[in-house]
A and B are shown apart, each in its own frame.
Chain A
Amino acid sequence: MALSGIEIYKLLPGGLKPPHPKANCKECGFPTCLAFAMKLAAKQAELASCQYVSEEAQEKLAAAAAPPIRLIKVSSNGHEVAAGNETVMYRHEKTFFHPAGVFVRINDSDGLDAIRELVSTADEYKVNYVGMDLAVDGFAIKSTGDAATFSAGVEAVRGATKRPLILISADAAVMEAGLKAAGDSKSLICGASPENWEAMAALAKSHKAPLTVGGSTLDEMAELTDKIKAAGVEDMVLNPVVTTLPEALGVWTQLRRLALRKTFRPLGYPIIAFPSQFSADSQIAAVQAIAKYAGFIVLDRFNPADLYPLLVFRQNIYTDPQKPIQVSPGLYEINNPGPDSPVMVTTNFSITYFSVSNEVEGSGRKGWLLVADAEGMSVLTAWAAGKFDAERIAKTVKSTGIESKVNHRRLTIPGHVAVLSGELEDELPGWEIKVGPREAVNLPQYLKLME
């Protein structure tokens, strides 16, 4: 929690008891230390403007300004997954910032060829959703207990992917072998428990790698993060032991609240979740982890039919509620259209635009797609809000210059706004308005019939 103006004032020259000789000297550009403190609290001034703040006070102010949930990064070869630094409990309060990293788990005992094959398939996996390529973020390798096996397993994974890794073993000697095999990437060490924390913290320190901290109660975890911090490791990820869906929900909610509402530093770290550990239905568990605060998620298997919905869900939950994802309005050419290709119109809400353009593109047919500026809203939403009416559509037709590119005057509108056709014919003299299908899925068939 950020400090209030008064709390900051108490650390400035004028707020000390007794006040510093320079109190209210105005050198910072403000009439009093109190006025300066208020500006600092509102983030409209820089602490550096006052030269008389003690070192101790500077440290306190810096610590208070640190984000309540520490930002933790794992990385390798230019890939990076960052979690933490969240500021709200509910996405409507502002937005969620760092989408949970999705990792696929491998066992080191699975056989090296099988490991290589699975990892390269999952590594290449990518799926397009509204113009964004969604992919797996990295891999977690779990040790079955033997250092040589672990080292070989990690090496096999490392050979098949450049993405970040999570190394899982409770044995520090095994972990050390894995870290060595992982090369110079910054892997997540998973991890420390009340039993092994000293050795694990030493590894985290020497490899400058983040460390997960496990515990079966919040008290236990808080105690452990304090000890590990004292041992010189700052980057931690919480790994609470949870065995049921509601327990996971409860604990993660408590952790988020403690960090955001109480600025409780010992638990101010992102969370790692292992969906199969607390539900027989790991898909449902993963959904909960995405919505309810996990920073890293480790899936037990790689299955596109599970993964695609999950990655889309993550994308949805992490979009900014204040600004829908949009494309720029204008004229889009699909499959090199010519003068006699059909002209269609839609809105600039990303989901809408891509639903339509993917269908036309996939059909192999040529088309001109006019994208009206509907302020990022779907067809019906924009229509209901008066942002996709005959006037706006006509304006799009005129401003894009489509009239000089085609030798016909036929415009297809979305089936959901069939009611607009009359008005549109008035707005666009000479144009014939055609009502297309209601759902984009039926566009290929419609275009075929039109020919």
Chain B
Amino acid sequence: MPVEIPKEKWTGKVRLVTLGATAAEGGTRTRRVTVGGGTTLPFLFFEGDMPHKPVIGIEIRDRKPDDWSPLLGLAWGEAMNDPGDWAKAAEQAGADAIVLAFNLADADGKAPTAAHAKATVRKVLQATGLPVIVNGPGQADLDNELLVAAAEEGAGERLVLGLCEDRNYRTIVAAALGHGHLVQARTAMDVNLAKQLNILITDMQLPLDRVLMDPTTGALGYGIEYGYSVMERLRIAALQGDSMTQCPMIVTPGEEAWKAKESKVGEGVPKAWGDWQERAINWELVTASSLVESGADIVVLRHPESVKRVHAMIDAMMAG
């Protein structure tokens, strides 16, 4: 009995966005990464194309964070004490891009300065040839100060500056415009908010092929279903031709999953949770792999083992 396979006739397409600039484009990166271009939902090759595979960013910090799970400490060891070493280790572990995030305070509890941001960005750029994404600590004033400094230091490198939110987009977009960078536009799990922010960004003349949308995600067990669904909705809107949703999506399952008690804590938890290390990695893996299925173009991870497994997943998918 011949069965006719129903295919979607999408009219839209995800924009191509390239991170990093090599010498030819006026930067110093040895590799660039292009994401986007999809003409169907993730990996449905029977009806469309996905010219660029989803990629993995590994999150490193300007200094060893105090509140990360000890399991992450075990995984990265000494490298965590120096952002340059950490970036190298992350590249070794299979990162396609390095996500440098600043802590809210230095070891003495003082806020990081612009000079510190510049020195750290320089160090990371020298340590790795991969594209670099720079994230502030998540406090509006401080983010502005550090990201503007990072943008200056990395001029011409096509960095990604984040987080670019409704409260600080003017400063961040201006810095991206001034120094040839991209932005990571974050909104709180809502299709309309994501569109609105992209409109504000384009109003400032930053072209959408320099914008990554970050729709925010929750961790497995802590709101992932909202993230999963908002990404599906954004991608469907993009394929239906809604221009303001056609940017590739970046999400941070690593950060979210490693906040969960399930990954942080090994003792005094129910026996039914199973082996700590396996469970913790699974927490990140399940969060990340489901988001790759729902449309993520860049997932930012923390543990090398999850990186390995998500890479294997993506490779298997792309061979499809």
Contacts and interface: CB of A to CB of B under 8 A. Distances in A.
Interface of A: 90-92, 125-129, 218-219, 222-223, 226, 244-247, 249-250, 253-254, 257-258, 261-262, 264, 266-267, 279-281, 283-284, 287-288, 291-292, 303-310, 312-313, 316-317, 319, 321, 351, 355, 362, 378, 384, 439-441
Q: Which of B236, B276, B293 has the most CB of A within 10 A?
A: B293
23 contacts: A90-B236, A91-B229, A92-B229, A126-B272, A127-B270, A219-B3, A244-B316, A245-B43, A245-B320, A250-B46, A250-B320, A254-B46, A284-B289, A284-B309, A305-B276, A305-B279, A308-B273, A309-B279, A312-B221, A313-B224, A313-B290, A321-B226, A351-B221
B43 A441 contact: no
Contacts of B229: 90-92, 321
B215 to A, nearest CB: 13
Contact of B285 (A279, A284, A316): A284
B255 to A, nearest CB: 13
Contacts of A321: 225-226, 229
A385 B127 CA distance: 43
A246 B220 contact: no
A218 B1 CA distance: 9
A246 B313 CA distance: 10
Contacts of A303: 274, 278
A309 B272 CA distance: 11
B316 A223 contact: no
B109 interface: no
A313 B220 contact: yes
Contacts of B3: 218-219, 222, 258, 264, 266-267
A264 B4 CA distance: 10
B286 A262 contact: no
Given A281-B312, A305-B282, 9 more contacts: A129-B221, A222-B3, A245-B317, A283-B282, A292-B293, A304-B279, A308-B279, A312-B220, A317-B228
A361 to B, nearest CB: 12
Contact of B319 (A246, A257, A288): A246
B264 A441 contact: yes
Interface residues of B, number: 54
Interface in B212-228: 220-226, 228
B188 interface: yes
Nearest to B226: A321
A129 B312 CA distance: 30
A355 B265 CA distance: 13
A117 to B, nearest CB: 17
Contacts of B233: 90, 92
A247 B221 CA distance: 28
Contact of B225 (A91, A125, A362): A91
Given A219-B1, A313-B220, A319-B225, A291 B293 contact: yes
A92 B259 contact: no
Nearest to A261: B6
B283 interface: yes
Contacts of A92: 229-230, 232-233
A235 B155 CA distance: 64
B70 to A, nearest CB: 13
B111 interface: no
Nearest to A358: B261
Contacts of B6: 254, 257-258, 261-262
**Interface hub of B278, B289, B318 (most chain A Cβ within 10 A):** B289
Contacts of B320: 244-247, 249-250
Nearest to B188: A384
Nearest to A320: B225
B1 A266 contact: yes
B221 to A, nearest CB: 5
Interface in B1-54: 1-3, 5-6, 43-46
Interface string B304-320: 00000100110011111
A342 B232 CA distance: 43
Contacts of B5: 218, 254, 258
Contacts of B1: 219, 222-223, 226, 266
B17 to A, nearest CB: 23
Contact of B278 (A222, A262, A284, A306): A306
A294 to B, nearest CB: 13
Interface string B281-295: 011011001100110
Interface centre among A306, A351, A362 (most CB of B within 10 A): A306
A320 to B, nearest CB: 10
B203 interface: no
A262 B275 CA distance: 45
B43 A309 contact: no
A214 B46 CA distance: 21
A362 B268 contact: yes
**Of A246, A283, A284, A291, most B-chain CB atoms within 10 Å:** A284
Given A226-B1, A287-B289, A317-B225, A306 B282 contact: yes
A384 B262 CA distance: 26
Nearest to B280: A305
Contacts of A279: 313, 316
Contacts of A441: 261, 264-265
